[in-house]
Structure formats: C-alpha cells, structure tokens
Structure 1
Amino acid sequence: MQHTGSCHCGAVRLTLPATPETATSCNCSLCRRVGGPWVYFEWGTVTIDAAPDAMQAYVQGDKTLRTMRCRHCGCVTHWEPISAEPGGKHGVHLGNFDPALIASVRIRRFDGAETWKFLEE
C-alpha cells in the first residue's frame, strides 16, 4: 500500500512505496533539531513530486547525504544520498504524513549523537 504526504504548503509531495514497519527517532545534532521520525526505503523507490526550485538542500558532516526541505514553508521532507548507489537508502521524514500512519508504526530510538546504536532491541 502506498502512502502520500507533503510538506505544510504542499509544494513537495512524497509517496512511500509501502507501509513502513518501523521508524527511527534519532538524537544526532541534526535530527534532534528537525525532528522525525524517519523511515527508510531503497533509493529510487520513494516518489518526490516538486517543482525544481521548490526544494533546498543542506549538506553537513561527511558530505554523503543532503537533507532536503521545502523552500517555501521550510518543512524538512527527506534526505538522499549525494552519490546514489545501488542498494542505497533514502530517508523520509514521517511527520509529513497522516498522523494515523505515524501512530501505526513502531518507533525505534537511535543514539546518533554518541554510540551509533539503537537504545533498545
């Protein structure tokens, strides 16, 4: 089952290819600021519908991915690899989807600030 969500103003629309089973809440320096939770899919399976000038990228740290936000309303929508490779992942901010979907997904807490491990198993 596909799920469609959008940023606050609707300029960026995202379609997930399936219902996620789990999502991740991370406490790294970026995620603790922009929130979450995040769901992950294979690169190329998430559909992003937006005008070319509707999104703005932010690149930090090891410069392997870019965090994307709507240029109009500021909502962070997803992150994507800078150099897409087969089997790579695509992170989608689940906060842009129906609250019922968010409530149906098990959230796992990830310590991206220090240990780089899930806090519960």
Structure 2
Amino acid sequence: MRHRRAPILKKIASCHCGAVQIAVSDYPSEVTDCNCSLCHKSGVLWSYYSADAILSLPEPNLTDTYAWNGHHVDFHRCRTCGCVTHWIPRDLTRERRGINARLFPPSALAAARIRHRDGANTGKYLD
C-alpha cells in the first residue's frame, strides 16, 4: 500500500489589488509591530519566515523596491496598488525574510501574538 503525501495547503498574503501574492505554509502565530520610521509610516506588521517556509514570491516585475539607508534589505511594494508586501535581505545567506502580515486575511491574525519592537532606538523587543 502506497501512502500519498498530504498536499501542502498554501496560506496566501495578497496586496490590495491582488497582483502580488505570497504563499507560505502557515499563518504566523506571532507578528512584530516595529516603531522605526519606515515601519511606522507604512503601517506594516511583520511576520518572519525562513527562506524555505516561503512557498512562492511574486515575479520581480510586479514590485518596486526600496532599500532604507541603501543597506541590508530590499523592501518590496506592489507596483499597482502600492502596498508594502515583503522584504528580502540583500545577503541571501541570511535566512530570515519578512512578509507584511496585514496582507493575510484578518481571521488568520486573530490569534497571533503582537510583539512590539523598538526599531527606532534599541532594536530590542519591548515585551
């Protein structure tokens, strides 16, 4: 008797217009509210994933990028509706990536713990 693997059920983060969609294996159980100027002004909540937990990213032509201070990570936003969608480190040996958790359905975040990060000063979590 052969056993079939259960299919991976994708969880989708989608921008407002739907042009940018990011698939992950699970919704986040924890999200980060960072108070740095970029995160504060864009209103994101970050969910962090390892590179292999992200099942698909949008085609590069669907997003514009911005590198804050020109270093470390590229922040992506949808070229059509402008939603900040994710960030990818410039050094691809870094494992962690960020996806804007506000792009998941609200019901997917209802039970998620919200952590508060002092990205404007110390870089430490406040809780």
Read off the aligned partner of 1:102 and give its amino acid letter: L
| Maintained 8 Å contact 1:43/1:84 | no
Instruction: Give yes or no for the alignment of 1:26 onto 2:41.
Output: no
Instruction: Give yes or no for the alignment of 1:5 onto 2:13.
Output: yes
Instruction: Name 1:59's counterpart in structure 2.
Output: 67
Structure 2 residue corresponding to 1:38, chosen from 32, 43, 46? 46
Residues 97-112 of structure 1: pairs in structure 2 closer than 5 A = 97-112=104-119
Read off the aligned partner of 1:10 and give its amino acid letter: G
Unaligned runs of 5+ in 1: none
What's the TM-score once normalised by structure 2's chain length?
Answer: 0.85
Q: How far, CA to CA, are the matches of 2:86 and 2:34 in structure 1? A: 14
Q: How far, CA to CA, are the matches of 2:15 and 2:56 in structure 1? A: 11
Displacement of 1:17 = 1.8
Instruction: Name 2:102's counterpart in structure 1.
Output: 95
Q: How far, CA to CA, are the matches of 2:15 and 2:27 in structure 1? A: 19
Higher share in strand: 1
| Maintained 8 Å contact 1:34/1:76 | yes
Instruction: Name 2:3's counterpart in structure 1.
Output: none
Instruction: State the secondary structure of the residue aligned to 2:37.
Output: coil
Unaligned runs of 5+ in 2: 1-8
| Maintained 8 Å contact 1:2/1:19 | no
Shifted more, 60-69 versus 88-97: the winner is: 60-69
Structure 2 residue corresponding to 1:76, chosen from 80, 84, 87? 84
Displacement of 1:13 = 0.4
Read off the aligned partner of 1:68 and give its amino acid letter: H
Q: Quick one: percent identity of the two aligned structures? A: 37
Quick check: which has more Rg, 1 or 2?
2
Read off the aligned partner of 1:59 and give its amino acid letter: A
Instruction: State the secondary structure of the residue aligned to 2:47.
Output: strand
Question: What RMSD over aligned residues (CA atoms) do the two structures have, in Å?
Answer: 1.6
Q: How far, CA to CA, are the matches of 2:64 and 2:23 in structure 1? A: 19
